[in-house]
Amino acid sequence: MKKLFLVLIVLPSILIVQMAVANEVKIGVTAPIDASDHASLQRGAKAFINNCLNCHSANYMRYNRLQDIGLTAKQIKDNLLFAGEKVGDTMTVAMNPKDAKKWFGVVPPDLSVEVRARGADWVYAYMRGFYRDETTPTGWNNIVFDKVAMPHVLYELQGEQILNHETHKLELVKPGKLSPSEYNAYIGDLTNYMAFMAEPGKQQRQQLGWWVLLFLGVMLVLARKLKAEYWKDIKKGND
């Protein structure tokens, strides 16, 4: 019986934990996700809309959901919508998929739930992990996505990195408009926004969770009091 327990429960658990740890080491960074930081989410939304929707869609995301992160319908309309779009529209892609296929060899995937598919840490590492590689068609490669077909669209901000093949670390060889810590913060906001987009109801759900726990706590106190009350009468009846 003990052996069976060991084989069926303990060993697989150890394996899973080890796999998780191995994954962690490979990515090596933790995305600064904070669903309650509306200023960060707003900066991230702007970065996403300005830089990513040329090639990617976010078909499950409607512009008016940006009201959940503190923007008014007017702000969304004035600052984030391009000609012809309405606040109720979803975030569609500017590029025709056929052209995309011709240019990149693959159609850039919809990014609505990318963070749920890959994890926030991965996306955070990916957007910081582009480096120069003359052997690829775009001239770029990526430390967490080998031979990626996406060019480094934010290289003006980050600058240019190369991969040191001895240390297997990235080195900034040409600075961009942002310092490395500013760029990390920029990508942090972008990833925070993409995490919100992948699960817009998360914050509400977590808040609801606290109310449920509070309710259960109050009920516990009341139930105990009620029980004491009932038993008092029963004890009296026995006397």
Angstrom CA distances, 41 to 28, 36, 174, 212, stand at: 23, 8, 29, 26
Q: Scanning residues 22 to 41, which ones bind ligand HEC (CB under 6 A)? A: none
Q: Minimum distance from CB of 194 to ligand HEC (Å)?
A: 7
**With binding defined as CB under 6 A, does residue 139 bind ligand HEC?**
no
**With binding defined as CB under 6 A, does residue 56 bind ligand HEC?**
yes
- 17: tokens are 């934990």
CB 199, CB 116: distance < 8 Å: yes
183-188: long-range contacts, CB 8 A cutoff, minimum separation 24: 183/128, 183/154, 183/157, 183/158, 184/128, 186/43, 186/47, 186/154, 186/157, 187/124, 187/127, 187/128, 187/154, 188/31, 188/32, 188/40, 188/124
Q: Tell me which of 63, 126, 186, 196 binds ligand HEC, using CB under 6 A.
A: 126
Report how many helices (DSSP H) and strands (DSSP E) the chain contains, helices first.
Answer: 10, 6
**With binding defined as CB under 6 A, does residue 114 bind ligand HEC?**
yes
Toward ligand HEC, which CB reaches closer, 61 or 127?
127
Query: Using CA atoms, how far apart are residues 140 and 124, in angstroms rounded to an integer?
Result: 17
Site string (189-208) toward ligand HEC, x via CB under 6 A: --------------------
Query: Using CA atoms, how far apart are residues 236 and 205, in angstroms rounded to an integer?
Result: 46
Toward ligand HEC, which CB reaches closer, 87 or 113?
113
Q: Tell me which of 46, 85, 104, 110 binds ligand HEC, using CB under 6 A.
A: 104
Q: Kindly determine how many residues on this chain lie close enough to bind ligand HEC according to the rule CB under 6 A.
A: 21
Q: Scanning residues 145 to 184, which ones bind ligand HEC (CB under 6 A)? A: 148-151, 153-154
Binding site for ligand HEC (CB under 6 A): 51-52, 54-56, 104, 106, 108-109, 111, 114, 118, 123, 126-127, 148-151, 153-154
